[in-house]
A = this chain, B = another copy of it.
Amino acid sequence: MYKVTFKFENSEDVIVFAALGENLLEVARKTNVAIDAPCNGNAACGKCKVRLLGGELDSKKTHHISDEEYAGGWRLACCSKVCADVEVMVPDIASAYKSRMKVADLSSPDEIKIFDDLKEQVLQAGIALKNDMKVITLQMNEPTLDDTMPDNERFTRALRAQTGVNVIRISYTALNKLAFVLRKSQFEIQVVLRETAKDLFVYDVFEKEKNVIVGGMAVDIGTTTVSAIIIDMLTGEILAKGSAGNGQIRYGADVINRIIESEKPGGREKLQKAVIDETINPLIDTMCRQAHLDHSQIYRLCIASNTTMNHLLLGVFADPVRMEPFVPSFFKTNSVYAYNIGINVNQDAHIILAPNIGSYVGGDITAGAFVSMVWNKPEFSLFIDLGTNGEIVFGNSDFMFSCACSAGPAFEGGDISCGMRATDGAIEACTIDEETMEPTYSVVGDPGTKPVGICGSGIIDIIAELFRCKIISPKGKFIREGKRVRHDEHGMGSYVIAFQEEAGSVKDVEITEVDIDSFIRAKGAIFSAIRTMLSYCDFDVSMIEHVYVAGGIGSGINMQNAIRIGMFPDVPLELYEYIGNSSLVGAYAMLYSNEAERKVYEIAQNMTYIELSNINAYMDEFVGACFLPHTDSALFPSIV
């Protein structure tokens, strides 16, 4: 066994022992050292770079490592085997990806606006904003020597008398506290319950003076990022909002690699643990502190996520999701409670899942489609969710079609050498001076934050600007020279947005021809999916009356640039609307409103899923779309 020491800039060393020949990336994963590996250790993405500080590593050199980098000690973890004691540095660009908790400042109106907007639209659509959770006050006679009815029987009888409901179920939580609370509060108590047409379920009991909050939680589990809010179920108010990186990221950046990882021995448990114990539960801890709420006072959850994410969340065998005939284990389920999967809220909290409609169109899309309100308008609308996968819905109040395309993780910074999520240090917007080729960019974070990478909206801008300034060709190849344009030994071009001196990273923040190529394929997948689906349904881009763009790409997305690179159809800019994380907002709607929940099930039932791979035209469309903006420039009349 050899001693492997992982060093970090901002945290303590992690020391672990490994056998001769063990893969360094595997060693890191076993020890919970987060090394970014979007391609899951296939030597494809070049992201898992570490720097050898001492000892030895048996590493293969790949094209991701230049001679200069190799001399400086840079190695790909996935191409390195342990052969002696070794000390490696895990660089900042990787730790930027590490699950990072972020709590929103709710005093900022921006954070809450999307939820308020939704509520208004939902009400306009005639959907009631209420649910079946309640708090009631219940007064009982104190027992005496002549009236020795036990607490449970006394409580049940009083509840029946007051509510008129006959079938009453009392949770263990309430039973466990009842004797104590009754006596502390002179037999006048507050009861948290859920009342349906059939029965009444008592979640909790409190003393009469206590200010009782009935909490609920909506969660969007993205492949890359998990976002959540805690709400007051009685008023709909947002009490806390937060996000964290999905802890599964170290098992692969996309859903396919996660599924493959989950099929290894113990894999389902490992992936489930990564998202629950390492992501959702710590996020709940943080948010409960923000909301000054006890975990046990979160009584209902709604989770929206893609089909793979909700299968891995429940520890369900997910192989059928990715294998023909592409049959998920469930579209809809009512079976899951917090205690089942160890989510740290009230153990009887029911977990509502936004329904899937196919292997690649999941609950995040049905919830998001609800939020887009496409289903409630006569005009033909397009709803595009840009996540690690791209999903598209088209329709109106009469019909809806949906499809998915594997755009890959490029929109969230995956597959891009300097790509990253839209967190601190990400270049999120950029313009380039046509003359000097000098960039001007803005970075996520406090003023003065140095750039360490580029997030999705930044990549769109950079590519659009490189193309506009004719620095790259329609094929994405560098065609101008300058201080910022470089070529490696293989002739591969790149453009440096921030040299190491000005960057917060250990190396230049740049975009390479390989990155541009990845991104062009991603945007091509989206555009060709839109075209293929529309023409399959006998529609045309010109008939689009509204475009809703959702997803983690961020509000910084420049629609003009997205059109300019041929990612979105060339319809008037004013038809575009960025609606943010519609999956989370949809989960909020389902959580807070029983009618909205039913509506989402109805939407799922009525949405027609189109499998693009079954349509021959799709491949041709895709090939045409892998240009800037497109091989058929007539499709982009506004681009000069």
In the complex, whether A179 has a CB less than 8 A from a CB of chain B is: yes
**A335-B143 in contact (CB<8A):** no
Across the two chains, which residue of chain B brings its CB closest to A320?
A: B179
Partner of A169, one of B171, B335, B340: B335
In the assembled complex, how far is the CB of residue A252 from the closest CB belonging to chain B, in whole angstroms? 20
Tell me whether A172 and B326 are in contact (CB under 8 A): no
Q: Beta-carbon contacts of A330-341 to B below 8 Å, as 1s and 0s?
A: 111111110111
Contact of A179 among B147, B316, B339 (CB under 8 A): B316
Q: Is A327 an interface residue (CB 8 A)?
A: yes
A624 contacts the other chain (Cβ, under 8 Å)?
no
Inter-subunit contact B316/A178 (CB<8 Å): yes
Known: A144-B325, A179-B320, A317-B183. A172 touches B330 (CB 8 A): no
In chain A, positions 155-193 with a C-beta closer than 8 Å to chain B are: 169-176, 178-180, 183
Residues of B within 8 A of A171 (CB): 335
Residues of B within 8 A of A358 (CB): 148
Q: Contact between A153 and B320 (Cβ–Cβ < 8 Å)? A: no
Of the candidates B176, B320, B336, the one whose C-beta lies within 8 Å of that of A314 is B176
Could you say which residues of chain B place their CB within 8 Å of the CB of A314?
172, 175-176
Assuming A314-B175, A316-B179, is B325 touching A145 (CB within 8 A)?
yes
- B contact residues around A340 at 8 Å (CB): 172-173, 339, 347
Of B183, B316, B333, B335, the residue contacting A320 (CB under 8 A) is B183
Contact of A513 with B by CB under 8 A: no
**Once the chains bind, are A151 and B327 in contact (CB under 8 Å)?**
yes
The distance from the CB of A306 to the nearest CB of chain B, in whole angstroms, is 14
From B150, B172, B324, A335 is in contact (CB under 8 Å) with B172
Most chain B beta carbons < 10 A, residue from A150, A183, A316, A339: A150
Interface residue? A580 (CB, 8 A): no
Question: Complex formed: what's the CA distance from A316 to B149 in Å?
Answer: 16
Classify the secondary structure of A's interface with B: loop
**Chain B hits for A150, CB < 8 A:** 327-331, 356
Roughly how many angstroms separate A621 CA and B570 CA in the complex, as a whole number? Answer: 101
The winner among A152, A325, A329, A358 for most chain B CB atoms within 10 A is: A329
Closest to A145 in B: B325
- Chain B residues with Cβ under 8 A from A339's Cβ? 339-340, 347
User: Could you say which residues of chain B place their CB within 8 Å of the CB of A504?
Assistant: none
A556 near B: Cβ within 8 Å?
A: no
A 471-496 to B, binary, CB cutoff 8 A, 1 in contact else 0: 00000000000000000000000000
A315 on interface, CB distance cutoff 8 Å: yes
Kindly name the residue among A176, A333, A339 whose own CB sees the greatest number of chain B CB atoms within 10 A.
A176
Q: Which 5 A-B pairs have the closest CB atoms?
A: A152-B330, A172-B340, A179-B329, A180-B317, A179-B317
A-B contact pairs, 17 of them (CB 8 A): A143-B325, A150-B328, A150-B330, A150-B331, A151-B330, A152-B332, A153-B332, A170-B335, A171-B335, A172-B337, A175-B329, A175-B330, A175-B333, A175-B335, A178-B329, A183-B317, A183-B320
A interface residues (Cβ-Cβ under 8 A, vs B): 143-145, 147-153, 169-176, 178-180, 183, 311, 314-320, 324-337, 339-341, 347, 356, 358
Q: A151-B328, A152-B333, A169-B335 are in contact. List 19 more A-B contacts (CB 8 A).
A: A148-B325, A150-B327, A153-B331, A170-B333, A170-B335, A172-B340, A172-B341, A173-B340, A175-B316, A175-B330, A175-B333, A175-B335, A176-B314, A176-B315, A178-B316, A179-B319, A339-B340, A339-B347, A340-B347
